[in-house]
Amino acid sequence: MLAVLSPGQGSQKPGFLTPWLDLPGAEARLRWWSALAGIDLVRLGTEGDADEIKDTARTQPLLVAAALLAAEHLPMYDVTVTAGHSVGELAAAALAGVLPPETAITLAGVRGREMAAACALEPTGMSAILGGDRDEVLAAIEAHGLHPANFNGAGQIVVAGALDRLAKLAAEPPAGSRLISVKVAGAFHTPYMAPAEQALGAVAAGIVPTDPTRILLSNFDGAAVNHGREMLQRLVRQVTAPVRWDLCIRNLADLGVTAVIELPPAGTLAGLIKRELKGSGALPEIVTLNTPDDLAAARDLIARHGAPAGHEPTMQFRVVVAANAGTFAPAEELTEGDMINSGQIIGHVNTRQGAVEVAAHGSGVLTEWLAHHDDPVAPGQPLARIGGQLS
């Protein structure tokens, strides 16, 4: 089984689109998409310097365009799974058939502009926390009034929030960890992006998505999403919700993915997968697709590991996560193996402000409790795994 992955912001490099313009029709395609995105993708992808292409308003449509352009030169009909990191989810949704490429590019332009505008409202930023005990790291994030923005796996959590609070955390890092400042404009995937989420939602409300034709994993909880409308809602919600790339990696392994192609600009996601799955026996064969010279290796990988997605039922796992910090209390009457209905309350998170209900967002079997009675939990922490079928 083969997965194609689309990277997110921070993976871009100056000139990374230059070799792709040698392919027939590539420049014309990018000029059409430039009109939709409201920026010159050709110039930015070939001549833009590092500072120019890290501008959120420019970076996001540039990355989505690069992924879609490269994927047009692959036999995608033999690809079973797609996923993307952060803005890369828009490219993944297009590759899964949920959105036309033109819609994904347009949404990336809106998303980038609106997130850049939200970043300008107050000084915020992001830092990667490497190492340390997970529970201690999450407790330190909460204690400093910050937000976990990306759970990237391999012992890496990206924290976001006010710059002064990030500086205090850097001065007092959790034991065994180190912080690296991330060069972005603000606190992505946190409540600071609420104006951007609202603006993107207003545009997305006019879109009519279709259901995916292959397995499409969501950053929200790593689950495979079977309905286009649900995926579109998740794409909007993800602007303020943490990226659970760790759960996406886990589900790639659970699904039995044996090979991965990372679309350009490639390398970041491949590195995370290698570090997270090293020694697990589930490490897939990986091709990083950065230039047209890599297409032959990518096509060979698809030929050896790919299979038509088809419409046979496939096991789906949904992970229910905590929305608040507190202690978890599972519903007493529920045990592993019980059937769960969409919207059913499976427990509570007891916070300082009171109990917050935790509801399942899909039907299926309660396959595993991931948190137990009185366990301390943080926002975005998995609480239960629910299994069902994609049909």
The tokens for 245 are 């790339």
312: pLDDT confidence band, cut at 50, 70 and 90?
A: very low
Q: Which residues contact 285 (CB under 8 A, 6 or more apart)?
A: 258, 259, 260, 301, 305
Q: Are 385 and 370 in contact (CB under 8 A)?
A: yes
Give the pLDDT confidence of 143-194 residue by residue, as tens digits.
999 999 999 998 899 999 999 999 999 999 999 999 999 888 899 999 999 9
- Rounded distance between C-alpha atoms, residue 199 and residue 195, angstroms: 6
Phi, psi of 287 (to 5 degrees): -120, 125
Q: Where in the chain is the domain with CATH 2.40.50.100?
A: 315-390
The CATH number assigned to the domain with range 315-390 reads 2.40.50.100
124-182 placed in CATH 3.30.70.250: yes
Name the segment(s) of the chain with CATH classification 3.30.70.250.
Answer: 124-182
> Distances in Å between the alpha carbon of 118 and those of 55, 161, 186, 192, 195?
13, 13, 8, 7, 6
Kind plus residue range of the DSSP H or E element containing 45: helix 41-46
Average pLDDT for 127-139: 94
What fold, for 2-119+191-310? Malonyl-Coenzyme A Acyl Carrier Protein; domain 2 (3.40.366)
pTM over 0.75: yes
What SS3 class is residue 81? strand
- Within the chain, all domains assigned CATH 3.40.366.10 are found at 2-119+191-310
User: Could you give the residue numbers annotated as active site?
Assistant: 86, 189
In angstroms, the CA 180 to CA 155 distance is 13
- pLDDT band of residue 377 (cuts 50, 70, 90) is confident
Residue 273, classed as helix, strand or coil, is helix
Question: Which residues, in sequence order, are CB contacts of 281 under 8 Å at separation 6+?
Answer: none
- Supply the DSSP string of 177-235, one letter for each residue: EEEEEE--SS-TTSGGGHHHHHHHHHHHTT------SSEEB-TTTS-B---HHHHHHHH
